Amino acid sequence: MRLILTGANGFLGKVISNYFARHELIKIGRSMGDVVVNLADEIPVLPISDLVIHTAGKAHLVPATDQEKADFYRVNVTGTANLLSGLMRSGLPKYFVFISSVSVYGLEKGELINEQYPLSAVDAYGKSKIEAEALVVEWCKQHEVVCTILRLPLLAGRNPPGNLGAMVKAITNGYYFNIDKGEAQKSMVMVDDVAAFISDVHKIGGIYNLTDGFHPSFKALSLSITRQLNKRSSLSLPFLIVKALALVGDIFGEEFPVTSKKLYKMTQTLTFSDQRARNNIGWNPKSVVDNFSI
């Protein structure tokens, strides 16, 4: 099988590359790969393929300017449109897998949200993923390509990016703390489980949330990390003390360790249901807390 993989040099892309290494894999990247192209700026010239896995996108940034907000649209929506245009020129694949995000739901709290929940995101990232999803679904329907969309939460794996990477760094440097008892839960998933699921689902299609099914608390996750680093367990600070720090952070901005917005997210449970993947495809992931290795 010949595969095209965008975002091949990213966190998820590298794991997918390794998983599908026995196949003929065409890697697309902005700086290196079999096809070097910035999808946000141009339509790529591509070989014909059986399966396309589109992981390339912009994330892990809270936009501070209108230009940064516009960049989400340019990378996530225009980049997807350019990829689809390139595939029209090269020849249609049989299967297309798009990596999306649970951010499309636009939620900061909730429990076991399933795929039927309205796509209500109002932030630049979430809105760009909603639009990209719509592009992919319509294109696949029009050209009779089997379409799979994976809505992912926080990814766990070696040297993780984003919030989990920031947590590891904070614990390593000794300035991480839980709030109250750190009981708020968040959905997460092991990155290698996602790669394996693509192999199972791409010929079937559908839209799926993927999680580890355990939805670890901040306390459980921080304990896993401190044990791996041979550190003492993280401190837990009373909510009112952290609230006072957050008010100071509101003055200094997003670079401050805690702001009122960050505090709210850190103290709210937000989990997603992966029951559709379990029922339809046999999704049986590993626990992040038990398997996450720094």
The number of folded domains in the chain is: 1
CB atoms within 10 A of CB 227: 10
Report residues of the chain scoring pLDDT below 50: none
Give the 3-state secondary structure of residue 109.
Answer: coil
Q: What is the pLDDT of residues 218-246, one digit of tens each?
A: 999 999 999 999 988 888 888 899 999 89
Euclidean distance between CA atoms 30 and 183, whole angstroms: 40
Q: What is the pLDDT of residues 154-171, one digit of tens each?
A: 999 998 988 899 899 989
In a domain, 149, yes or no: yes
In a domain, 106, yes or no: yes
Q: Does the reported pTM lie above 0.85?
A: yes
Euclidean distance between CA atoms 63 and 72, whole angstroms: 9
Report pLDDT for 111.
98
Report pLDDT for 198.
98
Report pLDDT for 60.
67
CATH number for the domain harbouring residue 89: 3.40.50.720
Largest Cα–Cα distance in the chain?
A: 59
For residue 116 the two structure tokens come to: 């039927």
In a domain, 109, yes or no: yes
In a domain, 75, yes or no: yes
Which amino acid would we find at residue 136? V
In a domain, 229, yes or no: no
In a domain, 167, yes or no: no
Report pLDDT for 255.
74
In a domain, 91, yes or no: yes
In a domain, 129, yes or no: yes
CA 271, 117, 12, 30 dihedral sign is negative
Structural domain that includes position 48: 2-157+189-213+271-286
The answer to whether 13 and 26 have CB atoms below 8 angstroms apart is: no
Using a 10 angstrom Cβ sphere, with 0-12 exposed, 13-18 middle and 19 or more buried, the burial of residue 108 is exposed
Please provide the size of the chain in residues.
Answer: 294
